[in-house]
Amino acid sequence: MNQSVPVLRTVHQLADTTSLTDPQVVIGAVSAVLTIVISLAAWWARRKRISWRVHLDTPIGRTPTLGENMIDVELRDSRRGGAPVPDASLALIRIMNTGSAAIGVADFETPLHLEFGGRRVIDVDVVEAKPPVLRMLKALEEAKSWPPVGQDKLDLPKLPFNSGDRVKLLVLLSGDPAGDGAAVDCDGILHGGEVVHDTTRGDGPSKRTMWLRAGMAVVLTASAALIVSGLTSGSDSHCVAGTIGVEGSSAFAPVAAALAEEYTRQCSAAHINVKATSSDSGVIKLNSTGGTGELTIAMSDGEAIDSYPWLSGRQVGNVTFAVVLNNQVQVTNLARQEIKDLYNGNRTAWPSGQQVHLVSRDYHSGTRAAFDHRVLDGSEPNPTSHNCQDRDPGADGTVLLCEMSSADDVLNRVAGIDGALGYVEVTKAAEEKGLHTVSIDGISPAPGGDRSHYPFQAAEILYTYGQPAADSLTAAFLRFVDGETGKKIITDMHFGTA
């Protein structure tokens, strides 16, 4: 996706780098969504939930046998005239709203019903409850309508429970539990809810709940890691095998070679061949082959010279060019009008008297197209020399001008011919001895300087024949170029858009 403006660096950009369609991002997003949906469903399913748990159920004494040398405990039932309680036991039961919604009196279709394995209820004490519940139970107790005693069951009045509210009942029982079943059991019916047995220890979440929470945390963490990794790494970790060719601009070719080297270092099954020719020749070749051969990307300094409706271009940076002079010419700045005068023949010698030798690129060059458009505001004259030093027989005009097919040839001729002037990509100019760059209208093209008003620049564009298939090496490499690693390489080599 050609980058636009930042908003999430943008969603548009993320889509262009296919981070949002990267398999690991898709898997992570789907896993996260499913986990959230399941969690919400589970939360909704247990919105109304009462759990009960037995904290204690133990015999506390037997009817003492006279004459035995021991400490005996005897419980007496005041309701029956102080008669001893045979086979006494105590049960401590906690009843709690463990759902996420409050439960009102109307939510109970039937009250909570406790049974004790056939044992009779002798007395009940509420050892923990919220004040409103305590007041309600106290009123029932004073009205002698609760608790029922002498029965083998205990119905709890319909009570309101906010989420997290609980009641603890201490029940004095008489008799032995019958059978092999649970000594204490509780049931009831909630509208849109459930009553469940909590078999955990303590008042914390159950082991099942803790395992479920831990599992969801693991899934969400892994999902987030997949998404973040996919979005931040972009295509750097998305490798596609195959072989492609990148051809065109000699100015951008070193950058393309560095990009290809890093991509193939990360993705050893990929092979990317970079060839430096010229912007126009790369575009023409790509258009003529239809992108069906190994050449699938053409590099161009600026937009293609001619119109190619089937080609699709994306800007990946800016290329800055420099006018270069042989070191024998003691000039460090030229106004644009002075450069125009040199190329239209109004000026044929330097202030020192040296003859001007113009070394240009041929018409296939994107560098020349940028020079013509952004410096000369027109076209260069026809060449008048093949060797850049002597005028060809019969050549018209006063200008001594030759054309070279590559930037390296331009550099060699300018460095080797007194009075020579040429133009190349600015970082290449620094590689050659015997020449120097000049400012244009007082603005230096040197890397790191303020180039905001420097005229001799062009957008660096990569062309493909139509849009490459998303799963192709061409598309993967372009995503890499648009990604963080690719942008850093481009910026470090002074082709950044900033």
Domain parsing of the chain, residue ranges = 11-44+209-234, 47-192, 238-498
- Angle subtended at Cα 399 by Cα 398 and Cα 405, rounded to the nearest 5 degrees: 150
User: Other CB atoms closer than 10 Å to residue 120's CB: what's the count?
Assistant: 17
Q: According to the model, what pLDDT value does residue 373 have?
A: 94
Where do we find the tokens 């003492």?
A: 64
User: Other CB atoms closer than 10 Å to residue 261's CB: what's the count?
Assistant: 12
Residue 373: exposure state from Cβ atoms within 10 A (0-12, 13-18, ≥19): middle
Q: According to the model, what pLDDT value does residue 281 have?
A: 92
Among 139, 127, 198, 190, CA closest to 161: 190
Q: According to the model, what pLDDT value does residue 58 have?
A: 84
Where do we find the tokens 């979440």?
A: 205
Could you tell me the CA-to-CA distances from 99 to 149, 183, 207, 372, 477 in Å, in that order?
Answer: 31, 26, 16, 77, 52
User: Other CB atoms closer than 10 Å to residue 287's CB: what's the count?
Assistant: 18
362 near 330, Cβ under 8 Å? no
**What is the spatial distance between Cα 384 and Cα 396, in angstroms, rounded to a whole number?**
7
Q: According to the model, what pLDDT value does residue 81 have?
A: 67
383 near 340, Cβ under 8 Å? no
Q: According to the model, what pLDDT value does residue 37 have?
A: 60
Long-range CB contacts (< 8 A, 24+ apart) of 332-338? 332/436, 332/438, 332/439, 333/438, 333/439, 333/440, 333/441, 333/442, 334/438, 334/439, 334/440, 335/440, 335/441, 336/375, 336/440, 336/441, 336/455
Q: Sign of the CA dihedral 480, 485, 489, 490?
A: positive
End-to-end CA distance of the chain: 18
Q: According to the model, what pLDDT value does residue 489 have?
A: 96
Q: According to the model, what pLDDT value does residue 180 have?
A: 61
User: Which contiguous run of DSSP H or E holds residue 322?
Assistant: strand 311-326
Among 494, 272, 458, 281, CA closest to 375: 458
Q: Order of strands across the sheet with 166-174?
A: 120-128, 166-174, 88-97, 49-59, 194-197
Q: According to the model, what pLDDT value does residue 484 have?
A: 94
* pLDDT tens profile 243-279: 999 999 999 999 999 999 999 999 999 999 999 999 9
Q: According to the model, what pLDDT value does residue 75 have?
A: 74
Low-confidence ranges of the chain (pLDDT < 50): 1-21, 63, 232-236, 498
Among 383, 379, 365, CA closest to 423: 365
Q: According to the model, what pLDDT value does residue 3 have?
A: 37
Residue 496: exposure state from Cβ atoms within 10 A (0-12, 13-18, ≥19): middle
**CATH number of 238-498: 3.40.190.290, 3.40.50.80, 3.30.465.10, 1.10.357.10?**
3.40.190.290
pTM: 0.52
Does residue 59 have a cis peptide bond before it, meaning omega lies within 30 degrees of 0?
A: no
User: Which contiguous run of DSSP H or E holds residue 166?
Assistant: strand 166-174
3-state secondary structure of 142: helix
